[in-house]
Chain A
Amino acid sequence: MANYEVHEYDVLVVGAGGAGLRAAIEASSMGVTVGLVCKSLLGKAHTVMAEGGVAAALANVDEQDGWETHFCDTMNGGKMMNNWRMAQLHAQEAPDRVRELERWGAVFDRTKDGKILQRAFGGHKWKRLCHVGDRTGLEMIRTLQDRGVHQGITVYMECAITRLLKDGNKVSGAFGYFREDGRYVLFKAKAIVLATGGVGKSFPVTSNSWEYTGDGHALAYDAGAQLIDMEFVQFHPTGMVWPPGVRGILVTEGVRGEGGILRNSKGERFMFKYLPEATRNDYAETEEEAKIWVDAAIRGEKTQARRPPELSTRDNVARSIYLEVKAGRGSPHGGVFLDISYQDPDRVKKKLPSMYHQFKELADVDITQQPMEVGPTMHYIMGGVRVDADTAESQVPGLFAAGEVSGGMHGGNRLGGNSLSDLIVFGRRAGAGAAEYAKKHTAAPSIVDDQIKAAIDEMEAPFNRKDGKNPYELQRKMHEIMSTYVGIFREENDLKKGISLLEALKEEIKQVSISGTKTYNPGWHMCRDLRNMIICSEAIARSALSRTESRGAHSRLDYTETDPEQQKSNTAIFQDGDSMKLEKTPTPVMPEELKKLFVKKEPANA
């Protein structure tokens, strides 16, 4: 058996984005030993790409705001599929978590009276997104990173976890390798927090970085946890579509929050006609009204005008763009036009600096002069590891999950800005939950040698197979399958075809091979990542097939209506022997006092 190094911690956090860092900080402040593992360098996690802001009902700009409204917006945005308790905790705790970031050194944009400035975003009733220009994620990760570093958390960079180890039914450690030299490592741990982010790399057009190979989803699945709501994959409405090299790169919702207008090739402001009946009253009826709202927002004043239709929820805007393009009213490169150029150029550059540079440098487009071309790009998965709302613990004792890898918080569709707040609210709760758990279970974790041997064999295998499959070729195949059969609009036959192709691909992945050494060998890393991606791809496809309705981010061509009956159950995926099983589990029912918030037109504090 190959050599491996061993480290032992009370709590091991896998992933060093917003959720992982916040979890590590919390656990370490509770006096347990904490190790933090990340697949990239510290501070490079996908959180840096979050742009528009972090949602928290601070009511600095719109004083009518409060946690109740935030909660209702989140549940409505999630089409009532959310775990209500998570949505409640999230709405209640986000303001404190944001203030805490500021006390740790984050420097948010300010209102005229020196408070944290908040901007409008899709699906949020009030201006709620605390932001730093359009680089809020960077601000957050740097703040947490420095806080963590100064708190003395040990960080293992460029280290990938390939297996969770168990002692009986509970978690006892994690096995992985260092990308730099391929050496193996065993972390013994009483509790493990998964904070590995999402699954975007299963799709060809995505705003996600290479790390998003669904590692945490797959690790939890392998360890016996359930994955819920996997059919809900968010396509962000505005990704770049041209030139080809940048396809999928995110264009922040902040552009629309600052007044960006969507038009088709005929110059029509098409979002007016796609507003769902249920929320139509929250949006402007005419271009004039929308303009009054935008002008007031720019001046920092109040207005009776309602917000522009571009600020509808992401699922709706993405679908609308898709339909416009399909109807032949798209832009030259298969998107639609997003225009902010009617505003003062200096203001655009100040509020959206990275968008300005991104388009200028990568697409030769000056967004202060011309419209952008945008189209949907795979952005986020609402589904993930089923966790307890208060402690973030999964059904596997000792295994916790926070951030995108966890499921339930966002239901059928996530609102922009709720992701960053999710990270800090549930990152903290997972860290605390794990630390409590580790304190209760004082016995040292015991490791079964067979599990280590299996983990090592799995990693060695691609080197030993001669003339096997090229990992990059298999990833291209997976991209092809996912974009053709499991895209933004779904249909039974497509999904069935997709699943059978994925099953065939799964067999091919078992034949993957690589040559060379273990020293920083990305082909070798891909061999392992493929296995995670295929698990997530299959889970998405199977869950999508099982939901015979259209709801939130899940749109079926053969079931275009929302079926109230299906709100009552979540889709759960779990491993049964060698095969993937699916069952419907009841959606948690919210208590009466929360239900009341939805009955009244305005929540109590409005």
Chain B
Amino acid sequence: MREAVMKVFRGTDSGSGEFKTYKVPIEEGMVVLDAIHYIQGYLDPELAVRWNCKAAKCGSCSAEVNGHPALMCKSRMDHFPEGQEITVEPIKTFPLVKDLVTDVSWNYEVNKKIPAFKPSENADWTFMQEDIERVQEFRKCIECFLCQNVCHVLRDHDRKDVFYGPRFFVRMAGLEMHPLDTENRAGILKDQAGLGYCNITKCCTEVCPEEIHITDNAIIPLKERVVDEFYDPVAKLFKTIFGKKK
């Protein structure tokens, strides 16, 4: 039987943790999460991993496989060269809990700060498919937080103090572009959310398992809306003369 060699991070502390090597029999179509489950079920019941659906719908099993931020349930074992060790580590931007599990609660705190959907009161609730297609792309987000993990503003610079991260720009884009929403979040985007800290290096888009065009369709359009409101003197003038849209 073919075997894969899995190097899995173990420990509760990034300093003292270490990689343990396990041999796992390979089945056709197996994904990394299957290998982790095999280790749990047969070799080490204490191995901590967060997962739910194993069908790429819930976004729980985020990790770094051979250094690539990815969902373990979507990382096919046969995509790695046979015989090569497969390294599995926790995502690095959030505090380690144990093994492959990290504490992502910061994200939930950020979410609370975003002004909620505020539909216009006299809306008749008919709107066309083309009006919501953009919003629907953003609402595909499964909150795996891989974008938050890979974003260098959070990962390398640790600017959680001033920056909400790509996930929440996606959420705010979904609210801002909703045809019936009346809230204006441009000021929050510029100041509290720190949209300007994004230097559009696009790693969020590269790792998104839902293939949301985070940078091109959410962040950049939001940056342009912030420009309208705060940086473009002509647009500002235009708005003062003709009145605000919202």
Q: Do chains A and B touch in the complex (CB under 8 A)?
A: yes
In the complex, the answer to whether B57 meets A48 with C-beta atoms within 8 Å is yes
By a CB distance below 8 angstroms, the chain B residues around A147 are 116
Chain B residue with Cβ nearest A527: B45
By a CB distance below 8 angstroms, the chain B residues around A210 are 51-52
By a CB distance below 8 angstroms, the chain A residues around B116 are 105, 146-147, 150
Mark contacts of A152-170 with chain B using CB atoms, 8 A cut-off: 1 yes-contact digit, 0 otherwise.
0001010000000000000
B78 to chain A, nearest CB (A): 9
CB contact under 8 A between A103 and B101, given known A243-B30, A471-B45, A515-B46: no
Q: For the complex, give the distance between the alpha carbons of A210 and B111 in Å.
A: 26
| Interface residue A43 (Cβ < 8 Å from any Cβ of B) | yes
The one of A40, A104, A139, A524 in contact with B139, judged by C-beta atoms closer than 8 angstroms, is A139
By a CB distance below 8 angstroms, the chain A residues around B42 are 472
Mark contacts of A92-114 with chain B using CB atoms, 8 A cut-off: 1 yes-contact digit, 0 otherwise.
00000001001111010110011
Segment of A19-27, A355-363, A548-556 in the binding face: A355-363
CB contact under 8 A between A521 and B48, given known A107-B178, A110-B127, A243-B29: yes
By a CB distance below 8 angstroms, the chain B residues around A250 are 55
In the complex, the answer to whether A514 meets B46 with C-beta atoms within 8 Å is yes
In the complex, the answer to whether A522 meets B48 with C-beta atoms within 8 Å is yes
Chain B residue with Cβ nearest A116: B125
| Interface residue B105 (Cβ < 8 Å from any Cβ of A) | yes
B63 to chain A, nearest CB (A): 14
Q: For the complex, give the distance between the alpha carbons of A396 and B56 in Å.
A: 38
Mark contacts of B29-65 with chain A using CB atoms, 8 A cut-off: 1 yes-contact digit, 0 otherwise.
1110010000011100111111111111111100000
Mark contacts of B113-125 with chain A using CB atoms, 8 A cut-off: 1 yes-contact digit, 0 otherwise.
0001101000001
By a CB distance below 8 angstroms, the chain B residues around A142 are 139, 141
CB contact under 8 A between A362 and B29, given known A107-B135, A135-B57: yes
Mark contacts of B56-98 with chain A using CB atoms, 8 A cut-off: 1 yes-contact digit, 0 otherwise.
1111100000000000001010000000000000000000011
Mark contacts of A71-110 with chain B using CB atoms, 8 A cut-off: 1 yes-contact digit, 0 otherwise.
0000000000000000000000000000100111101011
The one of A40, A102, A354 in contact with B125, judged by C-beta atoms closer than 8 angstroms, is A102
Mark contacts of A503-541 with chain B using CB atoms, 8 A cut-off: 1 yes-contact digit, 0 otherwise.
000000000001110011111101000000000000000
By a CB distance below 8 angstroms, the chain A residues around B99 are 520
The one of B49, B56, B97, B178 in contact with A358, judged by C-beta atoms closer than 8 angstroms, is B56
Majority SS at the chain B contact face: loop
By a CB distance below 8 angstroms, the chain A residues around B135 are 107
By a CB distance below 8 angstroms, the chain A residues around B108 are 41-42, 149, 155, 157
CB contact under 8 A between A244 and B27, given known A99-B125, A146-B117: yes
| Interface residue B128 (Cβ < 8 Å from any Cβ of A) | yes
By a CB distance below 8 angstroms, the chain A residues around B53 are 44, 46, 48-49, 209
Chain B residue with Cβ nearest A473: B41
By a CB distance below 8 angstroms, the chain A residues around B237 are none
- Which B residues from 167 to 215 make CB contacts under 8 A with A? 174-175, 178, 211
By a CB distance below 8 angstroms, the chain A residues around B48 are 519-522
In the complex, the answer to whether A519 meets B57 with C-beta atoms within 8 Å is no
In the complex, the answer to whether A105 meets B178 with C-beta atoms within 8 Å is yes
B100 to chain A, nearest CB (A): 9
In the complex, the answer to whether A149 meets B112 with C-beta atoms within 8 Å is yes
| Interface residue A246 (Cβ < 8 Å from any Cβ of B) | yes
Q: How many chain-B residues does the 8 Å CB contact rule pick out?
A: 58
In the complex, the answer to whether B34 meets A114 with C-beta atoms within 8 Å is no
Q: For the complex, give the distance between the alpha carbons of A211 and B140 in Å.
A: 22
By a CB distance below 8 angstroms, the chain A residues around B40 are 472, 522-523
Number of A-B contacts (CB under 8 A): 161
Q: For the complex, give the distance between the alpha carbons of A150 and B116 in Å.
A: 7
By a CB distance below 8 angstroms, the chain A residues around B162 are none
| Interface residue A371 (Cβ < 8 Å from any Cβ of B) | no
| Interface residue B161 (Cβ < 8 Å from any Cβ of A) | no
Q: For the complex, give the distance between the alpha carbons of A132 and B49 in Å.
A: 30
Query: Which of A48, A113, A354, A472 is packed against the most chain B CB atoms within 10 Å?
Result: A48
The one of B111, B126, B174 in contact with A115, judged by C-beta atoms closer than 8 angstroms, is B126
Q: For the complex, give the distance between the alpha carbons of A360 and B47 in Å.
A: 30
Q: For the complex, give the distance between the alpha carbons of A519 and B142 in Å.
A: 26
| Interface residue A249 (Cβ < 8 Å from any Cβ of B) | yes
Q: For the complex, give the distance between the alpha carbons of A45 and B143 in Å.
A: 12
A352 to chain B, nearest CB (A): 13
B145 to chain A, nearest CB (A): 9
In the complex, the answer to whether A523 meets B45 with C-beta atoms within 8 Å is yes
By a CB distance below 8 angstroms, the chain B residues around A265 are none
Mark contacts of A125-149 with chain B using CB atoms, 8 A cut-off: 1 yes-contact digit, 0 otherwise.
0000000110100110010001101
| Interface residue B217 (Cβ < 8 Å from any Cβ of A) | no
In the complex, the answer to whether B28 meets A244 with C-beta atoms within 8 Å is yes
| Interface residue A395 (Cβ < 8 Å from any Cβ of B) | no
Chain B residue with Cβ nearest A471: B45
| Interface residue A457 (Cβ < 8 Å from any Cβ of B) | no
A388 to chain B, nearest CB (A): 31
Q: For the complex, give the distance between the alpha carbons of A376 and B42 in Å.
A: 27
Q: For the complex, give the distance between the alpha carbons of A520 and B11 in Å.
A: 11
In the complex, the answer to whether B58 meets A209 with C-beta atoms within 8 Å is yes
In the complex, the answer to whether B27 meets A243 with C-beta atoms within 8 Å is yes
Q: For the complex, give the distance between the alpha carbons of A42 and B99 in Å.
A: 21
The one of B34, B50, B55, B117 in contact with A49, judged by C-beta atoms closer than 8 angstroms, is B55
Of the A-B pairs whose beta carbons lie under 8 Å apart in the complex, a sample of 7, sorted by A's number, is A107-B132, A115-B126, A142-B139, A146-B117, A209-B52, A362-B29, A362-B56
14 extra interface residue pairs, beta carbon distance < 8 Å, beyond A110-B132, A146-B111: A40-B52, A41-B60, A48-B57, A48-B58, A142-B141, A149-B108, A211-B52, A244-B27, A246-B29, A246-B31, A357-B211, A519-B97, A520-B97, A524-B46
- Enumerate the 6 nearest inter-chain pairs by beta-carbon distance, A residue then B residue, closest first: A243-B29, A523-B45, A114-B126, A105-B117, A520-B48, A516-B46
